[in-house]
Structure 1
Amino acid sequence: MRRTMGDNSFLKHFITEPVFVIPGEELSATKAAPKEEKVETVAEEATEVYGQPEPEQKQVKELVFKGSNSRQVLVIVDQPAEEFINATDEAFLSKIIGAIKLDINDIAIANFPKNDDLNKETLLKFNATRYIVFGVDDSKLFKDNLPPYQIIDMDNGKQVLNCSSLAAIAGDATQKKLLWTALQKMFL
């Protein structure tokens, strides 16, 4: 005996669990629906029939940072003992930022250990066009091997500069020169 699409009597042999209909929701079957829509409809019906919850989407946490970010520059440091950045490094960073005609209050400073799940995707969603990373292992942050003191172009015209820690740069004239050369290319 041939069954038509409207004849669902055979389902009682496949679905042995009770089926509940949620008030206000309707199941509709269209005979002329394209194949893609049928697949989605079948998946939705299966979810409703078997009561499998949809997979939860992971909540993306907001990036915690210090500053106004009015110039769309994000500085990332690695200082587990600090909320954002220690006073010595902040004073040195202020001099660096001043040399490229920015004010420390115009940028955003994020501390890598204080921002759970910080990675390349969450960074690129942040409202910044330039990222300067000081002392963060780039394999943890970008899952790439970024060459130090070289500007890397990312998605949508965003740029990343990976550097040693501020304390290491402050004590090494060679690293200061490398940083200054890269910042000139990036900002001036």
Structure 2
Amino acid sequence: MSSQLTSNAKALRLFFTDDVYLVKSEMQNTFVEPVKLSSSAPQPPVVVKLVDEKIVVKPVVLPNLVEEPKPLLQKATTFKFLGKNEKQILILVNDKQNEVSSEQGRELLRKLVNAIALTAKDFALVNYANYETAKFNDLHQFFGSKMVLAFGVFPNQLGLDEQPFNQFVVHNGSKLIFTKNLHDLDTDPTSKKLLWASLQQIK
């Protein structure tokens, strides 16, 4: 019986009708391409390698992307006050025991505002003891004060440079005067006299 093996090209064409290519594995190169998935979510790229004629797929590990925290917006300070602030005059007192001051301190304040012809409609009165972290800019932004009378509130508490007592100073277009708290001022004739001389300027 004759052998069925043949090397005749015409005979081989009868059995192999498609093109045949020979690919040597040692000439294959590593390549990288993204894997397309149907999901709309972004997917990490993968590395595809041909190792010993076997395809090995290794996912690429991407570093975690951490979103930087957004800065918090500082909330504007609000203040509880007495009066209507129609003339934008701010009176600051500093008393942790009383709403305004002791009886003697309140009486002295009444005399002072009456002497310079102010009424409760003209000014805003704030007890700074309730807002100890507030600075001048916070108060000015809220009240738009053209004048500040500070009883027992010191410049450094408001974030300002040191200022002389019982004398008007000007800061950012506002006139300010600093003196003792009302209760102590009532028993200090010298300070009262100096303060009164300065307050005459606003009559």
TM-score by length of 2: 0.63
Large movers: runs of 4+ above 4 Å: 12-15
| Residue 84 to residue 14, structure 1, CA distance change in 2 (3 Å) | farther
Preserved contact between residue 98 and residue 104 of structure 1 (Cα < 8 Å): no
Listed as ranges, the gaps of 5+ residues in structure 1 are 1-11, 18-48
Tell me if structure 2 keeps the 8 A contact 1:77–1:165. Answer: yes
Aligned pair 1:54/2:101, yes or no?
A: no
Q: 1:138 aligns with which of 155, 175, 185?
A: 155
Amino acid in the other structure paired with 2:193: K
- Give the structure 2 partner of residue 16 of structure 1: 63
Structure number with greater Rg is 2
* Cα distance between partner residues in 1 of 2:185 and 2:140: 26
Please report how far the alpha carbon of residue 74 of structure 1 lies from its aligned counterpart in structure 2 after TM superposition.
Answer: 0.7
* 1:162/1:15 CA distance change after superposition, 3 Å: farther
SS in 1 for 2:82: coil
Where structure 2 has 5 or more consecutive residues not aligned to the other structure, the ranges are 1-44, 46-59
1:113-145 Cα distance to aligned partner (Å, 9 max, x none): 112521121122122210000112332223421
**Which amino acid is the alignment partner of residue 59 of structure 1?**
K
Q: Which letter maps to 2:159? A: F
Q: 1: CA distance between counterparts of 2:107 and 2:117?
A: 15
Match of 1:115 among 106, 112, 131: 131
2:92 aligned to which of 76, 79, 82? 76
Bigger strand fraction: 2
Q: Secondary structure at the match of 1:79?
A: coil
Q: Aligned partners of 1:72, 1:14: CA distance in 2, in Å?
A: 63
Which of 115, 119, 130 lines up with 1:99 in the alignment? Answer: 115
**How much identity, in percent, do the aligned residues show?**
26
Preserved CA contact (<8 Å) 1:120 1:142: yes
* Residue-by-residue CA offset, 1:159-179 (whole Å, 9 max, x unaligned): 110011212222222212101
Match of residue 106, structure 2, among 76, 90, 111: 90
**1:172 to 2:199 alignment:** no
CA deviation vs aligned residue, 1:66-124 (integer Å, no higher than 9, x gap):
11112211111110112343443222111101111112453211111112521121122
Does structure 2 retain, via aligned residues, the 8 Å contact 1:66–1:84? no
Bigger proportion of residues as helix: 1
Q: Which amino acid aligns with 2:170?
A: D
TM-score, normalised via structure 1 length = 0.68
Cα separation, partners in 2 of 1:145 and 1:116, compared to 1, 3 Å: closer
Q: Secondary structure at the match of 1:50?
A: coil
Q: How many residues align?
A: 145
Q: Distance in 2 between matches of 1:83 and 1:160?
A: 22
Contact 2:101 2:182 in 1 (8 A): no
